[in-house]
Amino acid sequence: MNKLLKKPMIVLILVLILGYVIYASSGKISSQLVKLLPEIFQTDFYLKNISLKFLFVVFSIVAMLLIPKMKFSDFGLKLPKKINYFKLIWQTVALTIGSSIVYGLLIMVLLRNFFGDTSEMGFPDSGSFLKTIITVWLWSSICEEILNRGLIQSLLNVFKKYKFCRLTLSVWLSGIIFGAMHFSVFKFSSSIFFVLFIVCGATTLGVLAAYYREKSESVYPAIMVHILGNVAGSFPLLIKAILG
């Protein structure tokens, strides 16, 4: 097993299979679990999201336990090395807002209008700003990072010896896989351009989170990046809540 985990292409195939199995299994089991809960959990997208992301963590931890000769600390579940948190904050906010503007103009304005797309787009209304804070900003950020930067990126460390644009290939792959997971937005939006907008934004944020995961050797700065990215990406919602 350890010999297989040293072969880059085999590792990549195994990681993609593992990621898909965890994502698909979590979705199927979650859909069954919510049927046992009060009706509000069965119909509310954001409350159902809690059980889905919880299963991400459960399956990730099970996988970590099953992988031989690796400890929880090897998966980034430990205190981080010293990093510049002020730099982390401004980079995350600037990159999130900047990429949202660029992708918004390129995809949502230019391409969407050029192709005359009138498909339904957008996320379901949470009905509560507090619910968004708890389920999206905090819960989703923590659970998704344990899966993506804890389990997946740790297995991709075999790619650290390769670099592209000053970042290791493990960082790029971690960000791209994270972004690809957001194609699930198709479940509630029929607009390919809105989905691409979300996927591109998630990939950009994922690469930054992966960079800090690698730099600090811990998932905790990556979780911080994810939370800040979700907050910065929700500025329009925040302004609306304050004014409303």
The predicted-structure confidence for 112-134, as pLDDT tens digits, reads as follows: 999 998 887 777 777 677 888 88
DSSP 39-104: HHHHH-HHHHHHHHHHHHHHHHHHHHHHSTT--GGGGT-SPPPP--HHHHHHHHHHHHHHHHHHHI
With respect to residue 13, please indicate whether it lies within any of the assigned structural domains.
no
**Which pLDDT belongs to residue 121?**
78
The closest of 241, 175, 166, 182 to 210, measured between CA atoms, is 175
pLDDT tens for each residue of 59-104: 999 999 998 889 999 999 999 999 999 999 999 999 999 999 999 9
CB atoms within 10 A of CB 139: 17
With respect to residue 37, please indicate whether it lies within any of the assigned structural domains.
no
Residue 42 vs residue 59, higher pLDDT:
59
**Domains held by the chain: number:** 1
pLDDT band at 236 (very low <50, low <70, confident <90, very high): low
Whole-model pTM: value is: 0.92
Tell whether the model's pLDDT for residue 146 goes beyond 90.
yes
DSSP 120: -
With respect to residue 161, please indicate whether it lies within any of the assigned structural domains.
yes
pLDDT tens for each residue of 153-204: 999 999 999 999 999 999 999 999 999 999 988 887 788 999 999 999 999 9
**What is the number of residues in the chain?**
244
With respect to residue 233, please indicate whether it lies within any of the assigned structural domains.
yes
- Mean of pLDDT over the chain: 89
With respect to residue 106, please indicate whether it lies within any of the assigned structural domains.
yes
pLDDT band at 243 (very low <50, low <70, confident <90, very high): very low
**Which pLDDT belongs to residue 4?**
65
CB atoms within 10 A of CB 152: 25
With respect to residue 120, please indicate whether it lies within any of the assigned structural domains.
yes
Q: Please report how the helices 169-181 and 8-33 are oriented relative to each other, as an axis angle in degrees rounded to 10.
A: 30
Residue 162's domain comprises 73-243
With respect to residue 88, please indicate whether it lies within any of the assigned structural domains.
yes
With respect to residue 226, please indicate whether it lies within any of the assigned structural domains.
yes
